[in-house]
């Protein structure tokens, strides 16, 4: 009786399948790179165009065929010198550093203390209160700016540093991120400190804060960026030029009745955005990593 020998499998379909899957992966990766490059170009082109106008000879910005590369470095230096020698803008830069720094420090203290309470203390209504606090993430500033401005006016805080800083120190965004970091603090350390007689504030100050310093620094940078670029709140609370932050001072250059040229306007906008560009450019990877870790903890 003849023995039955099965036919060997045909390797061609398997190789064709692998080739097809590899081609699909390459197409997918290529599409992602093209989309990323397009998004990057759209995001960076306004900044590049602003730099191009600053470093362009007079009248070139309004020409019918403008150039895409800077052509006059001396003209750009002249625009920057004109803006920086203006007393209002120089004072506004100092004001923004002071406002953004003080708002960041106060926000970090309030949000980290509340985050520690929500993460490690047990009290009635804790979950409901935390959920209610996060409603602020869904409410835009434009909705609450007028009621808040009325409160600040009633307190006599218009045209004052406390009127600019304190109303914006309660940040639901900072509370949410820092709560996720506080939840990562080992409970064993807190229990051991409690047994040793350390109070709740001592545990927060000596244990929780040092262990969450990466999150504190990331949130502090983001809060500082938002405070620096805030335009609406200073606009409705400050009328004295000596208290203008850089966001409001730069907007005054775009008044059609002002003496400044288009290059001066763009120089003011570039100088106001330069600190944010430098900070985010240097710390972008670290900031994104810190926020991603907070999301994974949640």
Q: Which pair of structure tokens corresponds to residue 14? A: 């398997």
Residue ranges of domains in the chain:
11-62, 86-297
Q: Is the dihedral of CA 135, 141, 142, 143 positive or negative?
A: positive
Report how far apart, in Å, the C-alpha atoms of 135 and of each of 71, 111, 147, 172 are.
Answer: 50, 15, 17, 8
Closest CA to 131 of 146, 148, 118, 117: 118
> What pLDDT, on a 0 to 100 scale, did the predictor assign at position 154?
93
Residue 132: half-sphere exposure toward Cβ, Cα within 13 Å: 5
Q: What is the pLDDT of residue 293?
A: 65
pLDDT tens across 11-60, in order?
555 566 667 677 778 888 888 899 999 998 998 888 888 888 888 887 76
Question: Two tokens at 126?
Answer: 């804790």
User: According to the model, what pLDDT value does residue 294 have?
Assistant: 58
Buried/exposed 82-113: b ≥16 CB within 10 Å, e otherwise: bbeebeebebbbebbeebbebbbebbbebbbb
Please state which CATH class domain 86-297 belongs to. Answer: mainly alpha
Burial of residue 53, with CB atoms counted within 10 A of its CB: 0-12 exposed, 13-18 middle, 19 or more buried: buried
How many CA atoms does the CB half-sphere of 196 hold within 13 Å? 9
Report the distance separating Cα 210 and Cα 264, nearest Å: 45
Identify which of 121, 81, 137, 135 has the alpha carbon closest to the alpha carbon of residue 264: 81
The encoded tokens of residue 267 equal: 């120089």
Please report, in tens digits, the pLDDT of each residue of the chain (298 residues total): 455 555 555 555 556 666 767 777 888 888 889 999 999 899 888 888 888 888 888 776 666 666 777 778 888 899 899 888 888 888 999 999 999 999 999 999 999 999 999 999 998 999 999 999 888 888 887 888 989 999 999 999 999 999 999 998 989 989 998 998 999 899 999 999 999 999 999 999 999 999 998 889 889 988 998 999 899 999 999 989 889 999 999 888 887 777 888 888 889 989 998 888 888 878 777 777 766 665 555 5
Q: Are 55 and 73 in contact (CB under 8 A)?
A: yes
Which pTM does this prediction carry?
0.80
Give the whole-angstrom CA distance, residue 294 versus residue 35: 27
Closest CA to 293 of 152, 176, 149, 180: 180
pLDDT single digits (tens) 148-179: 999 999 999 999 999 999 998 989 989 998 99
Supply the pLDDT for residue 164: 92
Which pLDDT score is estimated for 63?
65
């Amino acid at each position: 009786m003849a023995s039955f020998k099965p036919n060997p499998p045909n390797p061609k379909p398997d190789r064709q399948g692998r080739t097809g899957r590899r081609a699909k992966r390459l197409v997918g990766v290529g599409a992602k790179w093209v989309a990323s490059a397009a998004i990057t170009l759209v995001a960076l082109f306004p900044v590049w165009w602003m730099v191009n106008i600053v470093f362009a000879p007079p009248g070139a910005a309004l020409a019918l065929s403008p150039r895409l590369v800077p052509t006059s470095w001396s003209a750009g230096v002249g625009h920057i010198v004109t803006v920086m020698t203006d007393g209002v803008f120089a004072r506004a830069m100092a004001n923004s550093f002071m406002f953004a720094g003080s708002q960041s420090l106060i926000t970090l203290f309030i949000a980290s203390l509340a985050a520690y309470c929500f993460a490690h203390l047990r009290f009635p209504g804790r979950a409901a209160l935390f959920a209610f606090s996060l409603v602020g993430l869904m409410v835009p500033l434009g909705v609450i700016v007028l009621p808040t401005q009325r409160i600040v006016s009633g307190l006599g805080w218009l045209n004052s540093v406390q009127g600019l800083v304190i109303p914006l120190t309660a940040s639901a965004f900072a509370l949410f991120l820092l709560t996720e970091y506080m939840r990562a603090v080992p409970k064993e350390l807190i229990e051991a400190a409690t047994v040793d007689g350390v109070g709740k504030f001592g545990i927060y100050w000596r244990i929780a804060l040092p262990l969450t310093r990466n999150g504190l620094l990331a949130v502090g940078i983001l809060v500082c960026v938002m405070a620096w670029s805030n335009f609406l709140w200073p606009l409705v609370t400050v009328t004295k030029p000596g208290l203008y932050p850089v966001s409001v001072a730069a907007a005054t250059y775009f008044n059609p009745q002002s003496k400044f040229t288009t290059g001066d306007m763009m120089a003011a906008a570039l100088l106001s955005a330069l600190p944010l560009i430098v900070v985010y450019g240097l710390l972008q990877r670290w900031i994104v990593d810190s926020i991603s870790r907070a999301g994974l903890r949640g």
